[in-house]
Chains A and B, each alone.
Chain A
Amino acid sequence: EPEVTQTPSHQVTQMGQEVILRCVPISNHLYFYWYRQILGQKVEFLVSFYNNEISEKSEIFDDQFSVERPDGSNFTLKIRSTKLEDSAMYFCASSEARGGANEKLFFGSGTQLSVL
């Protein structure tokens, strides 16, 4: 079965540094997402992306966050100036359908971000 690939699996960075998390969605998918899970907390929606623009975002997704599809295959999440509280597992997902009952999200295995 096709899968969503995320790199790196672990990322360690210093507070205040920029970090880019990378994802390769499934090739024929049109919708892309980022979710995160802080240790011991729920998986939370960050942002969805379609047709080269953000379609939905949560309150968590503030000006420090940005997403990009730079080359038609990768989908990236950038955090401009990391904070300690950004430490979390970040999941990328993609889907094919345009919403409704047929929507199915495929998730990557996550990138564990540790901000020191």
Chain B
Amino acid sequence: AQSVTQLGSHVSVSEGALVLLRCNYSSSVPPYLFWYVQYPNQGLQLLLKYTTGATLVKGINGFEAEFKKSETSFHLTKPSAHMSDAAEYFCAVSLASSARQLTFGSGTQLTVLP
């Protein structure tokens, strides 16, 4: 079975500052890893995903994440926060053989301060 832990249910950053949202996973087999974002009153939108290959993955809106197998981590970063980045962010994991069945973390609410 796989699981995901997101450290920090709420993160606040100033506009222009670095965004770092933490995600650690556990999986008995090589995982697929995802970051989703949810803006108010909208569905979950895929930001980026890691399946195989390059461990640094670039996504939409300037976000990127690095898969670190030794640390079982997949932290999400963005060099400079924008007000429009305020949303809830979910890390998710799936087994490579069943990428359709996602296991989500509990989410991190990102607030961007002016």
Contacts and interface: CB of A to CB of B under 8 A. Distances in A.
Contact of B104 (A6, A43, A101): A43
A105 B104 contact: no
Interface residues of A, number: 29
Contact of A56 (B44, B90, B100): B100
A101 B99 contact: yes
A31 interface: yes
Given A101-B32, A101-B51, A91 B100 contact: no
Contacts, number: 64
A18 interface: no
Given A91-B44, A105-B46, A108-B43, A42 B102 contact: no
A44 B43 CA distance: 15
A44 B98 CA distance: 15
Interface in B94-114: 96-107
B6 to A, nearest CB: 9
B106 A48 contact: no
A70 interface: no
B70 interface: no
Contacts of B90: 43
A75 interface: no
Interface in B12-56: 32, 36, 41-46, 49, 51-52
B43 A109 contact: yes
Given A41-B106, A43-B92, 15 more contacts: A3-B43, A9-B41, A35-B102, A42-B105, A43-B90, A45-B101, A45-B102, A56-B100, A91-B44, A93-B44, A99-B100, A100-B96, A105-B100, A107-B36, A110-B43
The 8 closest A-B pairs by CB, nearest first: A101-B51, A107-B44, A107-B43, A43-B104, A103-B99, A109-B43, A108-B43, A42-B106
Interface of B: 32, 36, 41-46, 49, 51-52, 90, 92, 96-107
Interface of A: 3-4, 6, 9, 31, 33, 35, 41-45, 48, 55-56, 91, 93, 95, 99-101, 103-110
